Chain A
Amino acid sequence: MLNPHSKLNPKLFNPDVEQVPIRKGFGEGLVKAGEVDANVVALCADLTESTQMHLFKEKFPERFVEIGVAEQNLVTVASGMAAMGKIPFVSSYAMFSPGRNWEQIRTTIAYNDRPVKIVGSHAGVSVGPDGGTHQAIEDMAIMRVMPNMMVISPCDAIEARKATLALAKLAKPAYLRLAREKTPVMTTEETPFEIGKGQTVYIPDTGLAQVGIIATGALVYKAIIAAKELEKEEGIKVAVVNISTIKPIDAELIEAIARETRAIVTVEEHQIAGGLGSAVAEVLVQKYPVPIEFVGVKDKFGQSGTPEELIEYYGMGVKSIKAAVEKALRRK
């Protein structure tokens, strides 16, 4: 059942659950952040509407800078603005920023510890028809290894809005990962959100969980569906944790769920190398080693297709999550 403490959307299991693109929550959150703090500024690399930054641009035209198709300039100009006391949010597709401008982010933002927020939209394979060039599935890995950098991966539009507001208040560099597609709205206004904290969103109806699923981003929804089906169809008791902060990761919660279940499955729309799965494994090998199964893209590039086709093809759908849970259970 849904963990009552998480105060999730009660209509979560309805087939017609409301679906909103995660990036939309960012767009709304940025306007709010701009209202709260006059130092919040926005810069975009010719993708203002796609990244939902147009909402901020319309409200605060004098605090918006259009950079053109120049992602290296995007982040370095933002670094300069941060040096003068601004809190810049910069947006593009994740493939281009932080994909193309990684070194500029490292040297001018992370190395300088400037509070620039890099917003990578259209992350994951669910960009769909655009094909593999546009599907960022390495972004969490490349940002996670950077000192001073936080990495946030919200599960829905509401969480994205809360994350945007929270990041605007933090004088630290951060990467915010967003998806393009409509995503079921899982959380509510009442759902707790704190940077650095995970949330147990699903728990067995009774007793302890046998397997813990640790998921991030839009796939948290599929993890919850998989958990419910496993419980109903096979009597396997599963807990699901939503990790929206990939770095600094909630090691305490991860250790707790591993101690309860002694079998973990990680779920992410990202390469299994270097992302959430790796971050969880880094915690558990040191704190409490248990079998871990990784659901994610396995060292492949993406391709064109519908989001649903691609999620299935690359082994990140409900069926694959269930198979991974069963395998983790067998390895206990």
Chain B
Amino acid sequence: MLTDTKIKNLETVANNIRESIIEMLVEAGSGHTAGPLGMADIFTILFFDVLKHDPQIPDWPERDRLVLSNGHICPVYYATMAHAGYFPLEELQTLRKFGSRLQGHPHREFMPWLETSSGPLGAGLSQAVGMAIADRMDGGNGVDRFVYCLMSDGELDEGNSWEAIMLAAKEKIHNLIAIVDRNNIQIDGYTEDIMPLDDLAEKWRAFNWHVIEVDGHDFRALSQAFNQAKAIFEKPTVIIAHTIPGKGVKEFERDFHWHGKPPSLDEAKMALHELRTLGGKIQSEHQ
């Protein structure tokens, strides 16, 4: 169970990460806004509560594995890593620039602490399944390790995603936890207009997965979801996290136009003002 103090800490960190995302995107002049803001809470709880990892020893063999399948939301990945202590916060300003370790889409040759490179959609879950199978072959090497795969709802349009879903169920991989960012948008519009996914939970259940649906911004609910996912042993688990794209900045929320563009300087100023006001509220609310 998360204590109130812990939740306050997580909320504060998530808000700081959102501020970093806005600063990174406006400096880069390109990139995706809605997905990273929407996933800030989930990245926060992963890196600051759920994951077994050590920013001081990024290649610690016993670490959990985290695969980001929808690579375009990497600003939130990089920002969370920096806030967790993997590299200095100043480096976030190099996003998408020549020579930067923070490539426009994640590339592990530039940033070896990433478990994989991604961008082209639909291939992350397969890699997570491969990691979990390999881990099981080695008997986990005596390590109680989980493989987490973060994926978007839009990338479930890809056939490759469902190939991986079938294999994971066939292999009954219990140490695999998939997290779907159910934010209902993709580049061209709302998912249910572009390629309907509902009933999404029933689809996964029909493929023999254990399904948990959760509010992707509620730390207490997220924590319970991860605990439940770890406890399920006979099948893989998917957490369908309902999120608000653009979460934290009212003007960006729930609008698919923010999927693939950065804020302008004025929009960034407005967003930072909003987030910093919210940051103050978090402090006072819990006091």
Contacts and interface: CB of A to CB of B under 8 A. Distances in A.
Contacts of B120: 103-104, 107
A73 B166 CA distance: 10
A77 B129 contact: yes
Contacts of A247: none
A133 interface: no
A89 to B, nearest CB: 13
Contact of B116 (A65, A88, A112): A112
A86 interface: yes
B130 A76 contact: yes
Given A72-B163, A76-B160, A113-B109, A108 B123 contact: yes
Contacts of A288: none
Interface in A20-76: 41, 62-63, 65, 67-68, 70, 72-73, 76
A88 B135 CA distance: 14
Nearest to A88: B130
Chain A, interface SS category: helix
A77 B135 contact: no
Contact of A67 (B67, B109, B122, B167): B167
A76 B132 CA distance: 13
Given A79-B127, A112-B116, A113-B109, A85 B134 contact: yes
Contacts of B107: 111
A83 B133 contact: no
A142 to B, nearest CB: 16
A112 B117 contact: yes
Contacts of A70: 163, 166-167
A63 B108 CA distance: 27
A135 to B, nearest CB: 24
B137 interface: yes
Contact of B166 (A62, A63, A68, A108): A68
Contacts of B132: 80
Contacts of A77: 126-127, 129-130, 133, 164, 167
Contacts of A82: 130
A81 interface: yes
A318 interface: no
Contacts of A41: 134, 137
B127 A76 contact: yes
Given A41-B137, A80-B134, A72 B160 contact: yes
Contacts of B137: 41, 62-63, 86
Contacts of A68: 163, 166-167
B160 A80 contact: no
Nearest to A70: B163
B279 interface: no
A88 B126 CA distance: 14
A78 B109 CA distance: 18
Interface string B147-172: 00000000000011001101100010
B109 A104 contact: no
Interface string B106-129: 011100000111111011001111
A167 to B, nearest CB: 19
Contact of A81 (B116, B134, B166): B134
A83 B124 CA distance: 12
Range, interface on chain B: 20 to 34
A81 B123 contact: no
Contacts of A85: 134
A84 interface: yes
A73 B163 contact: yes
Contacts of A86: 134, 137
A82 B117 CA distance: 14
B142 to A, nearest CB: 15
For A80, A88, A113, which residue has the most chain B Cβ atoms within 10 angstroms? A80
B235 to A, nearest CB: 18
Contacts of A103: 120
Contact of A108 (B65, B116, B138, B167): B116
Contacts of A65: 133, 171
A93 to B, nearest CB: 17
Contacts of A62: 137
Nearest to B132: A80
Contacts of B123: 72, 76, 104, 107-108
A83 B243 CA distance: 30
A111 B159 CA distance: 21
Interface string A134-145: 000000000000
26 contacts: A68-B163, A70-B166, A72-B122, A72-B163, A73-B126, A76-B123, A76-B164, A77-B133, A77-B164, A79-B126, A81-B130, A81-B133, A81-B134, A82-B130, A83-B116, A83-B130, A83-B131, A83-B134, A84-B65, A84-B135, A84-B138, A86-B134, A103-B120, A104-B120, A104-B123, A112-B116
What 6 pairs between A and B have smallest CB-CB spacing?
A: A80-B130, A76-B126, A80-B127, A73-B163, A84-B134, A77-B130
Given A76-B126, A80-B127, A81-B134, 10 more contacts: A65-B171, A67-B167, A73-B126, A76-B127, A79-B127, A80-B116, A83-B116, A83-B127, A107-B117, A108-B123
Interface of A: 41, 62-63, 65, 67-68, 70, 72-73, 76-86, 88, 103-104, 107-108, 111-113
Interface of B: 65, 67, 107-109, 115-120, 122-123, 126-135, 137-138, 159-160, 163-164, 166-167, 171
